[in-house]
Structure 1
Amino acid sequence: MPHATARLTGALVAAAALIASLLLWAAPANAEDLSGGRLDWGVKESFRSYITGSIAKGEVQTGDGASAVDGAYRFHSATGTYEDGIAAIDYTGWVYFWGHDGELDLTFANPSVEYSGSSGTLYVYVNGTRTDMASLSGAELSVSGGTLSVSGASATLTANGAEAFAGYYEPGEQLDPVSFSADIAAAEAPTTEAAESPTAAAETDQVGGAVLDWGVRTSWRDYVSGDIANGEWAVSGGAADGGAVFRFTEGSGTATAADYTLSYKGTVAFTGTDVDLALTDPVVTATGGKGVLSAEVAGTRVDLVAFEATLAESGGLLLAENVPTVLTEAAVPVFGGYYQAGDAMDPLTIAIPLTADAAVPALPDLGAEPEQPAPSESASPLDADDAAEDTGANPLVWIVPAALVVLFAAAAITVALVQRAKRNRAAQGDPQTTVEEAKATDNAPADTAAPSEPTPSETEGPADQGPDPAASSTEDPEADKES
């Protein structure tokens, strides 16, 4: 029996060594960089209704690439890290609430999240002060196809967040849910290729590699994605979605400062209840600085908006940036009479690279579309490497519990055998049985007290309240937006 005990003790030591080696093998990798994603959050539905309702009589604006989508506000261009199952991500954009003739003046900008497992915190710059706005919970952080995402996390207002609303809501109130995503170790997006033969303005006006940015109109996007049309939009054929703006690419043609004709590639299609509109392959044409943007609509080219802009050379580009546009008479039926001729539409930007290394203005980066986990897929056997690669899960999730089960089972067997051997020796009058061994058997004296288990402390340190968020700003809205 002593030999058996010794062997079990040796096995116990070997199991411990195995666990140590597994821990080293399964140690988490270095931090991975995050880029290209979006965060969707509607703040709170009742607050949005209050701002635009008959009491506050206010308005909501978005900027720096933020946009309204599906009743929420979309912030873009994620940057951050993912390490040891913890994501720390920053996003860009602002949403501005104004009401009560300026007494309510509130800007939420550049939100960020810290998230692990199924919980985290949402931070927002409130009138320039970073504030822990809400506690997040109830949605699992998942990694699939190189994209990290959380969908529909519950958001509970914090004490600091309540101060940001000037007491309009109490701590513990439920805010709108939060969804976010970011791409892991995404390669840098290639810059738009310049014309094969860079343009020399004195020699020729042939250009290529141009881009056109235009968001159609904010209220149109809100209408399509809102509760009435309950629709969406999609880009294809070289167009890109920047949230608040669409980019058309591969522009080519002729261009001087005031006279230019540029044809672009790409389609933006809007669909929904009573909405079926696709704008394809836009063309901008200008003479003497007065221009028109047209596009193919149901097989017919239609002049959509008019504008005035001359192209100026800047940083290796011919550039006309944030040019105001107005709807043409011909485009009124395109939008179902929703707008009238002369109504302001979204501004446009034209950028034409003149050299191979010229970089066009950055488009808000919404990243890859988060993949939804497939419901109840049939399980197939995978080895550890395949499982880690396919799911992104840390091998410690299953290795450590299994190893601990082996370790504890071996320990329990060892203890049981030792106790049994002692009882047998005591029953047979074995002279090796000592007083201490006898006390360890089931015949121990009744007054032998078991050691008491320590009681964990119930006292916790005070929560970090953070800086007090600013009250409604008395500065002008533009200053708030810059903050």
Structure 2
Amino acid sequence: MAATRRPIALAAAVATAAALGATFALPAFAADGAPAEGKPAAGAPAAPVFQLESGALDWGFKKSFRTMIEGAKGTTTLADGVTQNADGTYKFPLDKGEYNLGNHGVTSSFKGSVHYVARGGLLDIKLSDVKVVTVGKSGHITVDITSKSPGKDPVVADDVEFSTLDLDGITASDGPEGMTYADIPGVLTEKGAAAFAGYYKEGDPVDPATLTVKPAAPVKPPVDPPVKPPVDPPVKPPVDPPVKPPVVDPPAPVDPTPTETAKPTSGPVVDGTLDWGVKKSWRSYVVGPIAHGKIETSDGATANGDGYRFGKATGNLDAEKNTLTAEFQGKVRFLGHESKGDFQLDLSLSNLKVDIQGTTGKLVADVSSKNRNTGELNEVSGLPIADLKVPAGALTAKDGIVHLANVQAILTEEGSEEAFSRSYSKGDELDALTVAVSLDKDATLPPGGSNGGSGSNGGSGSTGGSGSTGGSTAGGSTTGGGTVGGGTVGGGTAGGSTGGSVGGSGALAATGADVPTGALLAASGVVVVAGAGFVIAARRRRNETA
């Protein structure tokens, strides 16, 4: 069947995809042959223009849309040279383009297509003819979109302006593959939102794009032959003997001082630290009046403010690929619910590792967790505990140091199951983490500090006395005691509030909003028995008084 082409409108299949929960957005760019902005003034010489001999665009359209296709058991077909990167995005090879030296603008188009089919053909969208235009600190992407509904002709929307690009703060890096503009953020345009029947709104973010282009020899503008003026016979002036200028020896080369030496921007990690508190409510629960536990650090890890510091990092930074891998030494162990010298709660995290690619990453660790039903230790190596959200451009080394502060960490399904026995759910926010790695053995790492939330593990309890849950830190291990209750029995108050507040937060004690649910259920029997003891003691006192 012949394709029906429209300038912007999409078929009903696109609206169906939106109704099925697809979160899809694309960057918008100029049409074929669109000239770069910033033309020279009239009469000014034309700036050199370089044809592009090679290049690529790394871009995933929208991660949540790719996830939806996978969840719907759909298919993704790549054609005409497109390949998929390790992080799920796509690499489009350059078709043609040019680089304007005058305004530093890039006009480029790319080969290949990505074809999504799901829901038995109800969702059928093909994306092709991707183009990128950048000038100065702005840019855009266009895409041809072909959609098809069962039993109907395909509908094609050409050169949909889907996303604008923001290059403010983006600096091109030079490498063997050419100039690379890494992790350019983009947002959905009004036309892009309208193309999906308004399911998405203007300004919604799309996946960052990485543009790599390699210019060839410059294209020289045509030059008219010069007009030669008439030549009069030359008049020779009198020639004086030449005066030779004094000879000055060239300055001796000066070796740069250590502070002037260029710091490496890529290479092996020689040292580094990771500051992380896991999760504030988890720390509070472990050392609180229910679990009556403690937290131990070993193998080089230390307590650090509201979290723990892991050090002696090894790994590698690749500035060209915008990737960082770093593994840290140290172990933190959470112990609670002691019975006859044995702890029913026993969770250890060690050998923490961050694996970052662009603006996304993983926090990985070796996990040892006791099964509370069987008492057996389950050990898993290299478990992805959290998904990381990294700001664009954060992997730039300064004075030999890459410093990532307060990186957001979201609990994974594996972390929920293996580490916390589903006390927390996938998607729950863990404490933010701070990473500092050194590429220069002479560089100074930043000092440690508190990380991952405010307040200490202790603190005063709400109703019912002090209820302190913290305790002191000794020998690298944080211990917890805490009292259950704290109020008087015979003074009109039966035990006060049970346990005071958990971790020093009155809101936690009142609602239990962020306390691990599985652990609370395991401890509920202890609370009931404690309450019964208070009632019996009160009755005995009344009988003795009578």
Pick the TM interval, shorter chain. Answer: 0.3 to 0.5
Q: TM-score scaled to structure 1, two decimals?
A: 0.33
Greater helix content: 1
Q: TM-score scaled to structure 2, two decimals?
A: 0.30
Higher relative contact order (CA 8 A, sep 6+): 1
